[in-house]
Structure 1
């Protein structure tokens, strides 16, 4: 009989210690529900009924918390097109973050951009400002063209990378003679 009473108290004690705080459970569920995940991502961007870009990524994580954002932690590649679907440039990075409300894009880790002229930009970090419609960086940048190699710190470029400016140039620069252009 004493064994049964002791066993009853042990079971009662165990059952009473397994109580969950309902608020903690709800907060945990809210955090889990605030994230969407995807694999083998293909996103087509269009404006005015015309395709402007295509994004490919192996994985994507979308946070629904405020402010909402999308993470690409396993790399991404973006193909940017002109009005006739001609390829203007490609962009790749190992990591990316897109702020949904503002439209800002932050790319990092081995960022490479190649435009249709064959010019290549390499940097650790590249950002996109949708209000000014420019890409920019404050990090070290390397630009390789068919005829030259440029190095510096900081960059501003238009959306298709046809116009770009290194903010603080470092190293030799080849300048074409204007008389030879005529």
Structure 2
């Protein structure tokens, strides 16, 4: 009878060990997510200074007092809730400045979405005002489909959209709705 009981115990222990062995899986990512909600940032950083370079040359520099890190999402991004200032440098190292009350940087697409009271001051003192502006870091391109006002030396041009390279050599107001010529 002792032999029979040992046989049953051995079988039970074997079944238990095999069950434990097959129930184990690689759950490292699940362990990392414990305590982190998918809707919460995984980090908050203060006094941020992000630089985007191309071949060792700084092309853009994003500065903000606070950003939220959502790199734990399927489509990761960084959110700048307290505003952001973006400096864009051309090949001659001339600086244009974009200021906004809110911004999001999408890391997969290298797209910066600037929103709320967006103001661009170009290196040659042209001024664009709009509610939203996108900056494509890869193509070094700025654009929007929102209403804009664009002030040059001679005119203030109003329209529904804007398209330009980062040098502003081919800046174009889309769907022009009005032009005011400035007097000297």
TM category (shorter chain) comes to 0.7 to 0.9
Aligned equivalents of 1:129, 1:46: Cα separation in 2: 13
- How far the C-alpha of 1:62 sits from its partner, in A, is 1.0
Structure 1 outlier segments of 4+, above 3 Å: 129-133
Work out which of the residue numbers 23, 30, 34 in structure 1 matches 2:36. Answer: 30
How many pairs were matched up? 149
Mark the runs of 5 or more structure 1 residues left unpaired by the alignment: 1-25, 175-182
| Residue range with higher mean Cα deviation, 145-154 or 164-173 | 164-173
| Equivalent residue, structure 2, for 1:6 | none
Query: How far does the alpha carbon of each residue in 1:80-121 deviate from its partner, in whole angstroms, 9 at most, with x for none?
Result: 22345x333111100001111111221110101111111000
- How far the C-alpha of 1:76 sits from its partner, in A, is 0.6
Say if 1:34 and 1:91 are closer, same or farther in 2 by CA, change over 3 A: closer
Any idea what SS the aligned residue of 1:111 has? strand
Say if 1:105 and 1:44 are closer, same or farther in 2 by CA, change over 3 A: closer
Q: How does 1:45-124 map to 2 (within 5 A)?
A: 45-63=52-70, 64-84=72-92, 86-124=93-131
- How far the C-alpha of 1:34 sits from its partner, in A, is 5.0
User: If the length of structure 1 is used for normalisation, what is the TM-score?
Assistant: 0.73
- How far the C-alpha of 1:78 sits from its partner, in A, is 1.4
Query: How far does the alpha carbon of each residue in 1:122-167 deviate from its partner, in whole angstroms, 9 at most, with x for none?
Result: 0001112356542111110000112211111111111232321111
| Equivalent residue, structure 2, for 1:151 | 158
| Equivalent residue, structure 1, for 2:134 | 127
User: If the length of structure 2 is used for normalisation, what is the TM-score?
Assistant: 0.72
CA RMSD of aligned residues (A): 2.3
- How far the C-alpha of 1:28 sits from its partner, in A, is 6.4
Mark the runs of 5 or more structure 2 residues left unpaired by the alignment: 1-31
Aligned equivalents of 2:105, 2:137: Cα separation in 1: 11
